[in-house]
Amino acid sequence: MTTPEKLFSELLGLGDAWVVERAAFDEAKKALELHVRETPKLWDEERCPHDGSAGVVCHDHVRGLRWRHLNVFNKEAEIVCDLPRGRCPACGKVWRVDPPWEGRAKHFTKEFEAFALTLMREMPVKKAAEILGEQDTRMWRVVQAYVEEAHAAVDMSDVTCVGVDEMARAKGHRYLTVFADLVRKAVLFATPGKDSETWAEFVKALAAHNGHPHALTHVSMDMSKAYAKGVRDYCRNAQIVYDKFHVIAHANQAVDLVRRAEAQSGPATAREVLVKSRWLWLKNPENLSRKQRARLRQIDQDMLQTGRAYQMRLALQEIYALDSSAAAAQRFGEWCRWVRREARKASRWLLHHMAGVADLIESHIAGILAHWEQGVTNAFMEGLNSVFSAVRRKARGYRSIRNMITMLYFVAAKLPSPAMLSH
Ligand SMILES: [Zn+2]
């Protein structure tokens, strides 16, 4: 006859070195306790972790350790075990035996951790902890232990195209610099700060994962001086590519500066309309409703400078529809001349903000044109912004630098699933 104990031994996959000695339901805690002990077979199989010797013996037991397991019939279940410590007669060392059910965070079984990680992929850690009836700090340790192991195993030997961008922990908070593989579309590495020193850290990480900074052929980034210095200092074979999305972001910012200035200094009738229309100017016409389009046309006629700045931004974006860098080079040149000509007119003096964008484009033109030569889409970098929001949401209430990096890898590093990691 199959006893419940035998059944649980099989369900837990204990093999013949361990056995469920007693299964008991704790009325007070409404929890199932599975009391496990080792069999003599354990000592046949156990080897000294220091020198590999056989013939090890039991030194003593650590009493009453517990591991939370998956629920059984909707009741919480725990493995309870006096965990043996082995001793090696050859070298005299003593160690804690690794029980086969133990997950990475020590207080849970592997199965429980796999389930908890699945939940945490879908929802904030706090919410998953509530569902599991666990403390959220313990759940963070589960994610951390998994991410640490999985990220350590990431191979960067074929990384050639890298994107770099900054992520704020929260509005106005300290920054992380995030490095991503544009070919695999995966986050590679993140580190605090947003200066060229972050490159030193990234290069160390590359080396630790079989990669090499001289293997990088393209680095995609915004137009900040610090990142460009990092590339020059560490990656001599890499062409800098300035993202389309960062170039357009500068133009958007300039349009907004014109709008704000015109809202303050323009005709009184224009002011209210400009104050309320901020979002209209950041959108592309195809994304506007018919009503919004009509409004935009009206503003365009009344408020010459903001409307003109907006047209400049659209014209800039159209350059990216061209398919050769030669054609793009010519159009960028025309665009810069047009913008400056307009900005010189007395009635259009606010367009000097747009002329600033023209200066920026001219001084970064090689990297901007590299967009056409790179052959790898920057869409992943643009998409990272929504990844950053997801990470902040999942880590709500626990946004230490360490947790943010852990969650970033968990969400976007394409780590192998927990079950695939040898353990
Ligand atoms: Zn030994």
Average pLDDT, the chain: 88
Say how many Å lie between the CA of residue 39 and the centre of ligand 1.
Answer: 21
In CATH, the number for domain 161-242+376-386 is 3.30.420.10
- Between CA 159 and CA 413 the distance in angstroms is 13
| Ligand 1 centroid to residue 55 C-alpha, Å | 9
Burial of 288 per CB tally in 10 Å (0-12, 13-18, 19+): middle
Q: Domain ranges for the chain, please list them.
A: 1-102, 161-242+376-386, 244-374
Alpha-helical runs (H) found in 222-374:
225-234, 244-265, 268-276, 278-282, 290-302, 304-319, 325-344, 352-363, 365-374
Higher pLDDT, 143 or 273: 143
**Looking at this protein, which amino acid is placed at residue 93?**
K
- For ligand 1, the distance from its centroid to the CA atom of residue 20, given in whole angstroms, is 29
Beta-bridge partner residues of 179: 164, 189
Q: Could you tell me what percent of the chain has a pLDDT over 90?
A: 55
Q: What is the pTM of this model?
A: 0.81
Give the distance (Å) from ligand 1 centre to CA of residue 94. Answer: 8
The pLDDT value recorded for residue 395 is 87
How far does residue 17's CA lie from ligand 1's centre (Å)? 20
Q: What's the rounded Cα separation, in Å, for the pair 154 and 209?
A: 6
Distance 49 CA to ligand 1 centre (A): 7
How far away, in angstroms, is 42 Cα from ligand 1 center? 16
The strand pairing partners of 117, in sequence order, are none
**Span from the CA of 88 to the centroid of ligand 1 (angstroms):** 5
CB atoms within 10 A of CB 201: 17
Euclidean distance between CA atoms 45 and 100, whole angstroms: 13
Q: CA–CA separation, 317 vs 60, rounded Å?
A: 72
Position 416 pLDDT exceeds 90: no
For the ranges 62-76, 79-93, 171-185, 238-252, the maximum mean pLDDT occurs at 79-93
pLDDT, residue 254, reads: 94
Instruction: Give distance in angstroms: CA of 56 to centre of ligand 1.
Output: 8
Q: 126: CA distance to ligand 1 center in Å?
A: 43
